[in-house]
Chains A and B, each alone.
Chain A
Amino acid sequence: MKKLTICLFALIAGVANAGTIEMKVYGLVCGFCAQGIEKTLRKNPATADVVVSLENKLVAVATKEGADISDAELTKALTDSGYDVKGIVRTQRSLDAIRAELKQ
């Protein structure tokens, strides 16, 4: 029973934090670039929050609970915005954690 409870907590925690998608993007050199990307991604109904870092060439998207955005959809959104996606990873980091890390 104890093992089952631990597994259940781990599963819930995993699901709760699974909605962060981090993309490495080339061509991010100004605030206007980031503004366009943020605007595009926020239009997606699955998007909960977006963080863009020019310094880290990072675009991170938090999805709403139970929702997801496919890699193909994300790549298309960024390509249609005029930028090149060089990598996509799904992480356990929250966007608040990413923001805090970026401020350091």
Chain B
Amino acid sequence: MNLLKYALAGWLLACASVAQAKPIAFSHGTTVMAEYGAGTMTEAQVFYAPKYFLSLGGGYLELESDIDHRRREITYTRLNYLVKRWNMADAQANVFVWGGAGQAYVSELNEHEFAWNAGAQVDYETRRVYSSLKTDLHHASGFEHRVDTLQLGIAPYKHDFDTLATWFVVQGRQYTGVIHEGTEWALLLRLFKRGAWVEAGVTDDGKLQAMAMVNF
């Protein structure tokens, strides 16, 4: 719950910004993304967007307990949908939702189960400030995990199409579910240019948090 309070405060302070890696990059574009959080989660996704408001694809999410090494390996297909976009002169805001289904491996039961997922993201960004709030739920008969992520970022300069974008990002992430509970904070350096995006940083536990994404 604390994260939700921080999220609300951050949201207001940042003038209701939100935006991180979007589940839909652009029409007829393909997005490949991989994310690694040491001791917590690893995720990879591939999506193709036939329209600017719709993308289809799949992913793999591995959640691991850093206490007893129980883990969930979730393979899923997913549909992402842009519910609403606001294009402003110097800003953009979006509301995305997604849902899908797949299979989850539960290590302590040594079983594979049917699993479904659902989530949403709200974002607002300019070329200097952004924030994003995302919630991602995975459910199976043997577990339910939710990962809520808040990101607030600031850019030291305005980038343009052909220049490198640099962002300093504070990330708060709350894990809900039996395997991993709690809030984790991270400081990230994000760089992107044209269709390539990399970010890396450390969590408050001193662990590596990294993400890479390519759009083409």
Contact = CB atoms under 8 A, between A and B. Distances in A.
B160 A39 contact: no
Contacts of A35: 25-26, 29, 161, 194-195, 215
Nearest to A77: B27
Interface string A55-75: 101000000000000000000
B87 A31 contact: no
A40 B161 contact: no
A81 interface: yes
A29 B91 contact: yes
Contacts of A40: 26-28
Nearest to A99: B162
Contacts of A55: 158, 160
Contact of B165 (A30, A38, A84): A30
Interface in A1-52: 26-40, 52
Given A26-B87, A54-B127, A82-B85, A34 B27 contact: no
A32 B25 contact: yes
Interface residues of A, number: 26
B92 interface: yes
B22 A29 contact: no
B53 interface: yes
A102 B215 CA distance: 25
B27 A31 contact: no
A57 B89 CA distance: 8
Contact of A31 (B28, B51, B92, B194): B194
A11 B94 CA distance: 47
B87 A32 contact: no
A53 interface: yes
A36 B88 contact: no
A96 to B, nearest CB: 15
Contacts of A32: 22, 25-26, 192, 195, 215
A80 B27 contact: yes
A36 B161 contact: no
B29 A34 contact: no
Nearest to B90: A29
B2 to A, nearest CB: 30
B61 interface: no
B126 interface: yes
Interface string B135-156: 0000000000000000000000
Given A33-B26, A38-B161, A82-B26, 7 more contacts: A29-B91, A29-B126, A31-B161, A32-B22, A39-B29, A54-B161, A80-B51
28 contacts: A26-B88, A27-B85, A27-B87, A28-B92, A29-B90, A29-B91, A29-B125, A30-B125, A30-B127, A30-B165, A31-B161, A31-B165, A31-B193, A32-B22, A32-B26, A32-B215, A34-B161, A35-B215, A36-B215, A39-B28, A39-B29, A52-B161, A54-B127, A54-B158, A80-B51, A81-B26, A82-B27, A84-B87
